[in-house]
Amino acid sequence: MAITEGPVKPKTPLISFLETLQKTALATFGSKDFDPKLYVDLSLKSNLSVTIEGFGNLPKNQNGSVSVDDLKGFIEKYFEGAGNDLEYVQPVDYVAVPVGFLPKVKNMEMREWALEIHSLWKNLSRKVSQEVAKRPEFHTLLPLPGPVMIPGSRFREVYYWDSYWVIRGLLASKMYETAKAIVINLIYLIDHYGFVLNGARAYYTNRSQPPLLSSMVYEIYGVTRDIELVKVALPALLKEHAFWTSGIHKVVIIDAEGTEHILSRYYAMWDEPRPESSTIDIAAASTISNDSERKLFFREVASTAESGWDFSTRWMRDPSSFTTLTTTTIIPVDLNAFLLKVEHDLASLAKVVGNDGIAEIFSAASKARQKAMKAIMWNEERGQWFDYWLSGSSTSHQEAEEWRVENQSNTTFASNFIPIWINSFHSDESLVEKVVKSLQCSGLLGAAGISTSLTNSGQQWDLPNGWAPLQHMIIEGLSRSKSPEANKMAEDLALRWIRTNYLAFKKTGAMHEKYNVLECGETGGGGEYIPQTGFGWSNGVVMALLEQFGWSEDLSVSCE
């Protein structure tokens, strides 16, 4: 199904120019080690018009390149370095050894390692320079009211869903003020843009990322009992819920019994190449000759980025062809599980501030979504929830569609197990039993944890990569159920993941954003990881798992 309609956000003049610069840089420097994002993260030293004039004066070759010296000189003269508009800031609540730090980690070597990771928060902590608010048109970085934790590596700005696991780690580090400041920044984004952006950059204003803000507030409240934070967050969370459950994100499905269900999907307000990956997206679209089809493809690319799973065969009609991305026509299991969690959280946070009316509305909403997920996504024989592929008799995103058994995907991904993270699923013992069996023989489990998919496609969200956030949610869900078998599985998977991170850290001196789950201690592919800086959500997951499970194993034990 091709959905042809949908809003598109305007592009800023600075982004348009930086994309031109990015293209020129690729033609000039070549593709080896080329990172397109670097160019859209630069900030101006002088007015854009002066900069464009300076660029126009560079002698150009026919292929669009300029001389390497000319381009280097131009960039130096007219731009501040990428990331220079973010300042290092010492977190106010950082202490080298927090009181009550990871009480279950008794082993001295592991404690030292955990303290080393804890100390990495200092390296990832940033605040947006005041220059950004003074002259926003000079920057693609967006102003924010407080300090943030960035993922690290090439990601120089705060990210939405990464922040959830960063916060879980900060809570283990007893850095409650830093955790709250991140939430306040995300609320600020909702106040200004109507939703939490993918990340705090002007080129991310066309999409969000998996909605986990309510979970951040819920976790912080659980530890700090800070009612003021809940009061501030609630109106923003209500706005965010509306963003995900109406308009372009809303999908209506009529089940086999004729009951209508409302679910959600990813849908970016963008139909051009992503500025941070413009050269890559243009190359990917080179086989598409038709303009409107190219626009559809670019929307699918941006919508996949909204899913956080950029990229995976999960979203492709033909796993061997990237241009068959069709994310907007898929009802994703994980997105709907996250929204179910938002609804549960809103019900309980509303109660915290004494608003029983809102609590009732969201308690009813959560029941409706849980029912919808059962009717549309749950597969009793397989013991998993599956993404649902819309068949799309229409090009509108508002019309109801009838459920068809053949439209339920039958491909296993780690996302099929994410609902087990949600209380109303993991409290159901017979359901947990089925899910545990299914996960056990899913083929996703390896020496180093839970793989993301079974397809070795070369895409970063496919085999052989295992990602920290997915491990954490599945492990946490299993550990919270009453089933001893599920608890045992959770502990086993947690230790596999901790060990993988530990061995990789010893080998490379760095935390990585993903690991090869087939081999323990492997670092996984892609990206550049700078030793001693850590990677935000990976640090957070390890800290949270160490807090929950401790470490009782002999470090010399191998991964078999």
Ligand X SMILES: OC[C@H]1O[C@H](O[C@H]2O[C@H](CO)[C@@H](O)[C@H](O)[C@H]2O)[C@H](O)[C@@H](O)[C@@H]1O
- Would you name the residues annotated as active-site residues? 310, 513
Give the Cα separation of 475 and 336 in Å (integer).
Answer: 19
Q: Which stretch binds ligand X (CB under 6 A): 91-99, 154-162, 219-227, 343-351?
A: 154-162
CB 153 within 8 A of CB 528: yes
**85: three-class secondary structure by DSSP:** coil
> By CB under 6 A, is residue 295 in contact with ligand X?
no
Distance CA 549, CA 493 (A): 11
Q: How far is the CB of 467 from ligand X (least distance, A)?
A: 8
Q: Which run of H or of E encompasses 143?
A: none
The nearer residue to ligand X, 94 or 159, going by C-beta atoms, is 159
Nearest Cα to Cα of residue 6 among 401, 399, 330, 395: 395
As measured in angstroms, the least distance from the Cβ of 517 to ligand X is 17
Indicate whether 459 belongs to the interface with ligand X (CB under 6 A). no
Query: Least distance from C-beta 524 to ligand X, angstroms?
Result: 13
Residue 41 sits in the site that holds ligand X (CB under 6 A):
no
Query: Comparing C-alpha atoms, which of 540, 544, 506 is closest to residue 523?
Result: 506
Q: Which is nearer to ligand X, 369 or 472 (CB)?
A: 472
79 binds ligand X per the rule CB under 6 A:
no
Nearer to ligand X, 91 or 308 (CB): 308
- The residues in 157-176 that bind ligand X, with binding defined as CB under 6 A, are 159, 161-162
Q: At what angle do helices 213-224 and 176-193 cross, to 10 degrees?
A: 150
Specify the residue, 35 or 519, whose C-beta has the smaller distance to ligand X. Answer: 35
Stretch that binds ligand X, among 15-23, 302-310, 334-342, 543-551 (CB under 6 A): 302-310
Q: In whole angstroms, what is the distance from residue 365 CA to residue 362 CA?
A: 5
| 84: three-class secondary structure by DSSP | coil
Using CB positions, name the residue nearest to ligand X: 305
In 384-470, the DSSP E strands lie at 384-385, 388-389, 401-402, 445-446, 449-450, 465-467
Distance of CA 99 to the CA centre of its chain: 31
> Which range of residues in 153-161, 369-377, 486-494, 543-551 is near ligand X by CB under 6 A?
153-161
- The helix or strand, by DSSP H or E, that contains position 417, with its residue range, turns out to be none
Closest residue by Cα to residue 157 from 85, 75, 79: 85
Q: Tell which positions 512-551 bind ligand X, by CB under 6 A.
A: none
Report how far residue 35's alpha carbon sits from residue 51's, in angstroms, rounded to the nearest whole number.
21
Q: Is 58 exposed, middle or buried (0-12, 13-18, 19+ CB in 10 A)?
A: middle
Regarding 198 and contact with ligand X (CB under 6 A), the answer is yes
The closest alpha carbon to 132, from 156, 149, 161, belongs to 156
**Which residue number, 276 or 334, has a Cβ lying nearer to ligand X?**
276
| 305 is an interface residue for ligand X by CB under 6 A | yes
Among 308, 464, 521, 534, binds ligand X (CB under 6 A): 308
Strand 43-44 and strand 79-80: pairing? antiparallel
Q: Which CB, 310 or 343, lies closer to ligand X?
A: 310
Distance, in Å, from the CA atom of 262 to the CA atom of 246, rounded to the nearest integer, reads 9
Site string for ligand X, 103-142 (x = CB under 6 A): ----------------------------------------
Q: With CA atoms as reference, report the closest residue to 227 among 350, 340, 343.
A: 350
With CB under 6 A as the contact rule, the residue among 6, 151, 383, 464 that binds ligand X is 151
Residues that bind ligand X (rule: CB under 6 A) add up to a total of 13
Stretch that binds ligand X, among 170-178, 305-313, 327-335, 448-456 (CB under 6 A): 305-313
Q: Which is nearer to ligand X, 334 or 345 (CB)?
A: 334
Cβ 536 to ligand X shortest distance, Å: 7
| Candidate residues 173, 277, 416, 481; the one interacting with ligand X per rule CB under 6 A | 277
Q: Compose the 235-274 pattern: x for residues touching ligand X by CB under 6 A, - for all others.
A: ---------------------------------------x
Binding of residue 310 to ligand X (CB under 6 A): yes
Place of tokens 């002698």: 59
Distance CA 262, CA 340 (A): 12
Cα 82–Cα 88–Cα 94 angle in degrees, nearest 5: 150
Instruction: Give yes or no for residue 155 binding ligand X (CB under 6 A).
Output: yes
- Provide the binding-site residues for ligand X, judged by CB under 6 A: 37, 151, 155, 159, 161-162, 198, 274, 276-277, 305, 308, 310
